[in-house]
């Protein structure tokens, strides 16, 4: 199907290299990335508590180059990763041989009937903002369709408090994403307010620390530790860069397609 996407925001052109596997651990992107991936993993049920088979099935929706899938496999899950980038899927297969990866646009998930109610847990990390607004509800509906009635879905979205990337179509308030989840029949059980905004998020600060003339690696390492200890998780009401929500199907409220 020919989806009406902006060619400038097409993430299939992004993965020339397995970028998440090559990160400088003390770069500003890596500091935030490690922070929110760690927060996401706290919301995923341990395999012993996830229900289903001895190795519960987990869908890594929008798996990219498989960096997170590696952590999920190591945690004991049977992982299926989906991404619409052939290059990303190729890297994922190379680095995470124990998982199964398919090149598939998540908007076409229902074309694979074997995925209906097939997963104990569904993970959607920094994915929905990469879809045009008119398809975002479709994505959530499809992910809910793939989730077992007793399963859990974990989704993360960037907040309106941070500068939109040129690759993003939309950032979210907590109220907006919660309402969207409710409309597809998902009840939010837990929310993490991640990346408490501070001077660490300032581009000027990072340019003063690392630029063409010098690189204060020891300072970058200090900021990484400081962020993970004090600024990674915020409190409700604070300005944060991201919301991470853990949901289950709400059987008392029928889903409404918009």
Find the largest Cα–Cα distance for the chain: 60
Q: Which residues of 127-165 are buried (b: 16+ CB within 10 A; e: fewer)?
A: bbbbbeeebbbbbbbbbbbbbbeebbbbbbbbbeebeee
Whether residue 139 contacts residue 128, with contact meaning beta carbons closer than 8 Å, is answered with yes
For 136-159, what is the mean pLDDT? 97
Digit-coded pLDDT (tens) for 173-201: 999 999 999 999 999 999 999 999 999 99
Please state which CATH number belongs to domain 15-195+235-249.
3.40.50.150
The predicted structure's pLDDT at residue 2: 79
At residue 187's C-alpha, the angle toward residues 185 and 192, to 5°, is 135
The candidate with the shortest Cα–Cα distance to 19, out of 60, 58, 62, 67, is: 67
The single residue listed with the structure tokens 């569904």 is 122
| pLDDT tens digit sequence for 2-27 | 788 998 888 888 888 999 999 999 99
Kindly state the average pLDDT of the residues 103-115: 97
- Residue among 113, 116, 142 nearest 127 (CA): 142
Tell which phi-psi region holds residue 52, choosing left (phi > 0), alpha (psi between -120 and 50) or beta: left
As a whole number of angstroms, the distance between CA 200 and CA 247 comes to: 30
pLDDT computed for residue 52 by the predictor: 57
Q: Cα 48–54–55 angle (5° rounding)? A: 90
**Residue 55 has what pLDDT?**
82
Helix (H, G, I), strand (E, B) or coil at 53: coil
- pTM here is 0.92
- Mean residue pLDDT of the chain comes to 93
pLDDT at 257: 44
Interval 51-85: pLDDT, tens: 555 789 999 999 999 999 999 999 999 999 999 99
Cα–Cα distance, 215 to 188 (Å, whole number): 43
Q: What is the mean predicted confidence (pLDDT) over 141-166?
A: 95
Structure confidence at residue 256 (pLDDT): 45
User: What are the residue ranges spanned by the domains of the chain?
Assistant: 15-195+235-249
């Amino acid at each position: 199907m020919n989806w009406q996407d902006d060619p400038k925001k097409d993430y299939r052109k992004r993965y020339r290299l397995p970028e998440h596997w090559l990160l400088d651990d003390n770069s500003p992107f890596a500091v935030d990335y490690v922070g929110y991936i760690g927060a996401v993993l706290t919301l995923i049920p341990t395999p012993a508590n996830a229900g289903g088979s001895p190795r519960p099935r987990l869908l890594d929706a929008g798996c990219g180059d498989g960096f997170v899938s590696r952590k999920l496999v190591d945690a004991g899950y049977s992982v299926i990763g989906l991404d619409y980038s052939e290059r990303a899927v190729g890297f994922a297969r190379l680095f995470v041989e124990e998982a199964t990866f398919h090149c598939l646009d998540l908007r076409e998930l229902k074309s694979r009937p074997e995925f209906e109610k097939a997963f104990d847990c569904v993970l959607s990390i920094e994915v929905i903002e990469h879809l045009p607004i008119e398809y975002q509800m479709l994505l959530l509906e499809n992910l809910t369709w793939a989730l077992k009635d007793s399963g859990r879905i974990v989704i993360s979205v960037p907040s309106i408090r941070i500068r939109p990337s040129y690759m993003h179509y939309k950032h979210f308030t907590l109220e907006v994403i919660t309402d969207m989840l409710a409309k597809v029949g998902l009840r939010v059980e837990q929310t993490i307010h991640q990346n408490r905004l501070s001077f660490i998020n300032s581009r000027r600060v990072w340019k003063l620390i690392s630029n063409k003339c010098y690189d204060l690696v020891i300072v970058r390492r200090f900021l990484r530790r400081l962020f993970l200890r004090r600024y990674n998780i915020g409190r409700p009401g604070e300005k944060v860069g991201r919301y991470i929500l853990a949901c289950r199907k709400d059987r008392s409220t029928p889903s409404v397609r918009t």
